[in-house]
Structure 1
């Protein structure tokens, strides 16, 4: 059983047209820029799951009702949830919520009405299940649904401290549920209290306090006190437990002995002394690392292992870094959910985490995603914790399964959410896209527009040329993605579907070459002006390549295709004003002879296609280096140079930045 669809209307940034989000079982990663509604979705989920047991920490307030600019707030918030994948047993448990299929589903509907009573605004909640409004949702049924929420501003250190209702104690109570096991823990505490009370210093301290109380309150009114480790009740004991960590810079616990005690320890270990061989000496101290001692080794050492633990000098979570405390916190919370599910206490469990990457470096973000993905499946039968994650991290995104990604955008006055598994990608394209979406390319999923180019030359130059054409890609949140070749199809499938639910709702420009006359001309053989003029005439009359025709067929949805005549270098070489900056760039790359030849040939050619052929021929083999140097020459901070931007690039820039800032 998993939440498959959530429909939201009139809640915060989602207006009357609403938004429908499709989820999968297991992991779901919700991506998007700031203020696009990711937290609103998470809070809608919290409102839904809070119908079950546990502390409710989110409520609908009057300010949560959608209000259009200059308008009145909406009067009703609607949340509609559809659960699918119900087993036969779950269909019996959630009978009151069922809707006949196929597929059979369980539906829950929440309505929040904004009313004014006595001049005061208040919110009235209504809940019903199934298809027929008014069908009640029995509390006993919803007790089988549970969730855990980790907010973006979570205070992991505070929540991990020993306290009543603390996370660690809560998990301990869940794990130790047998009364016999609990009684054993209580017996240990009672014994420890007896030893503590027998200490003379402890007794003297209690006597001192009682003497002062007698003076303050008198014998008749005073209260007597005694000092102990804590009440032996298991619930209280669990709440006082705290997490201990290795000392700073260490990845495992280390026991510290002086040299003589270390020798004595090895003698007592006898035949098991070899288990203690992993040591290092630090002055007069011997450091014994314990990480390699698994359960079999611990059992062999017996009481000696307990003694080793007594010689550990641990840190508390307050001495740990924020990033690792966040990891520990996630581990504790997920452990609680898993234990509940294994114990059969819930039929459905959800984990909601906002920005799991907070305070965590990139390599560790990858491991965090892998951990969450693996542990969402908790047994061989496929029982799952459904995980909902919001993120701004390209690193985490690059690791996530494409099927788990849900991308949010603001388009044409409304917010959209696209599940990438709905995009028309076949399995081969998914595999290709998975390989292509490294950390850098994953940034396209957070942008407001995308430009797809063939390689590094176009990626370096296009933002600078777009700026000269009047469009600032940086101000318009446009991401330029070099696909490192001509394999545009997997990327295009994210944008070009005619079905709105199967595409990203941001403009995309595919910028490529038409590669006319491919194989007909060899640039290294074009030497003098006559050869260049002849090559220019061939190019002018040339036919686009089959590869270019296939690229043009990718146009659709929000994607438009813009093609250069032959290549970018040919297009740039069409204009006489561009020749000197190009020659400067070639010279700056350490090729003065090539730059001189380019200047000389350009001066003798009066045919634009001939000049273009000259630039194409001379830049062969050095395109990327020249593009980088030319971008630096044309960008601000250098002397202003006249340079003409080809029409196809201007049109592409206009498509992706039409709603952005103009320079």
Structure 2
């Protein structure tokens, strides 16, 4: 499927009726060209606000987003609508409860119409993302989080600190890429240190999966002097005196020492970072940005069950003609 049309009303520079944005889009690449303050960023932010982005840095409606009808009067509400068409059979099945039937279009009679409606209240802004036609409140269906997650776009900012984006951590790019790999669950999840002691280290390591590596690290940490000393000190001098009669509490240090396999795998993946090699001392913001773009493309290619929507703001900022 693809975004056939974007309709924006009373959002930033776009007004209502004849002044609203009704932008038809085509399959493949769509390019926005215009002078400064023509509304290009408003269109990109409309997509980001409606669909969300894979970097989890979505934006929410603010008071500044409501269009000024006059110099002193703002609109009380705004709406952003995306019309998805050419849905595959798999996509129709997944979004079945949110689809809209349009009998007037025999070639493409089933579409997915997503709307964000924001209302400016006296104290706060309320907004809802729903599917369907706004014919009546009963005809609308609010979209759940899992469904919205399938619609998230990949967004490349004008220029970013790409090295920071490649750092290890929660929701890091590389952890998301690794989670999509089919082989991520392969390999053993436990290790026998006796085999390691018998100089079979290479064979043991070669059979381990991500969870097994984490458990090996924990076993090695337990044998490390500093970790041992800290654990013993914590248990003997601080935790033990605080216990009630009959308690038998004991602390254990490690990478998710009591975590289940899925949690342990996630924690390991979030500790993996990525960097460039063979840069000959010339690694800068531009080179790191290329690495970031490559990772985003890989993540997008591996997400076969999600919408492949890529938004690039100021594409000239991502070009490197000196190369």
TM range (shorter): 0.7 to 0.9
Distance 2:89 2:215 in 1: 48
Matched, 1:325 2:288: yes
In the alignment, what sits opposite 2:227? 206
8 Å contact from structure 2 (residues 6, 81) kept in 1: yes
Distance 1:87 1:218 in 2: 59
Matched, 1:175 2:181: yes
1:12 is displaced (CA, Å) by 0.7
Cα deviations across residues 319-356 of structure 1 (Å, max 9, x unaligned)?
94111211211222222222121xxx33x331223234
In the alignment, what sits opposite 2:132? 129
In the alignment, what sits opposite 2:310? 351
Match of 2:39 among 37, 40, 50: 37
Matched, 1:159 2:190: no
8 Å contact from structure 2 (residues 166, 292) kept in 1: yes
Distance 2:131 2:74 in 1: 24
Q: Which moved more, 1:221-230 or 1:128-137?
A: 221-230
8 Å contact from structure 1 (residues 176, 182) kept in 2: no
* TM-aligned CA distance change 1:248 to 1:130, over 3 Å: same
8 Å contact from structure 1 (residues 5, 22) kept in 2: yes
Q: Highest relative contact order (Cα 8 Å, sep 6+), 1 or 2?
A: 2
* TM-aligned CA distance change 1:189 to 1:111, over 3 Å: closer
Task: Kindly name which structure, 1 or 2, has the bigger radius of gyration based on alpha carbons.
Answer: 1
* TM-aligned CA distance change 1:186 to 1:207, over 3 Å: closer
8 Å contact from structure 1 (residues 91, 98) kept in 2: no
8 Å contact from structure 2 (residues 185, 210) kept in 1: no
In the alignment, what sits opposite 1:12? 12
Match of 2:216 among 180, 191, 195: 191
1:2 is displaced (CA, Å) by 0.6
In the alignment, what sits opposite 1:98? 101
What pairs with 1:500-649 in structure 2 (closer than 5 Å)? none
1:236 is displaced (CA, Å) by 1.0
Structure 2 spans left out of the alignment, 5+ residues:
190-208, 244-248
1:22 is displaced (CA, Å) by 2.2
* TM-aligned CA distance change 1:242 to 1:355, over 3 Å: same
Cα deviations across residues 159-195 of structure 1 (Å, max 9, x unaligned)?
2111122111121112146644484222233334444
Distance 2:254 2:95 in 1: 49
1:215 is displaced (CA, Å) by 9.8
What pairs with 1:424-573 in structure 2 (closer than 5 Å)? none
* TM-aligned CA distance change 1:181 to 1:209, over 3 Å: closer
In the alignment, what sits opposite 1:46? 48
Distance 2:272 2:320 in 1: 29
Cα deviations across residues 196-235 of structure 1 (Å, max 9, x unaligned)?
554xxx31x2355457658984862499777657758211
Distance 1:99 1:182 in 2: 52
Find the residue that maps to 2:153 and give its secondary structure: strand
In the alignment, what sits opposite 1:520? none
8 Å contact from structure 1 (residues 7, 81) kept in 2: yes
8 Å contact from structure 1 (residues 323, 358) kept in 2: no
Distance 1:216 1:228 in 2: 20
1:46 is displaced (CA, Å) by 1.6
* TM-aligned CA distance change 1:218 to 1:228, over 3 Å: closer
Distance 2:284 2:161 in 1: 12
Distance 2:90 2:102 in 1: 15
Structure 1 spans left out of the alignment, 5+ residues:
251-318, 365-663
Find the residue that maps to 2:30 and give its secondary structure: strand
8 Å contact from structure 1 (residues 150, 352) kept in 2: yes
* TM-aligned CA distance change 1:357 to 1:212, over 3 Å: farther
Find the residue that maps to 1:25 and give its secondary structure: coil
Distance 2:187 2:61 in 1: 42
In the alignment, what sits opposite 2:116? 110
* TM-aligned CA distance change 1:246 to 1:53, over 3 Å: closer
In the alignment, what sits opposite 1:220? 241
In the alignment, what sits opposite 2:303? 340
Distance 1:54 1:157 in 2: 15
8 Å contact from structure 1 (residues 151, 353) kept in 2: yes
Distance 2:54 2:270 in 1: 21
* TM-aligned CA distance change 1:237 to 1:207, over 3 Å: closer
Distance 1:142 1:210 in 2: 44
Find the residue that maps to 1:358 and give its secondary structure: helix
Aligned alpha-carbon RMSD (Å): 3.5
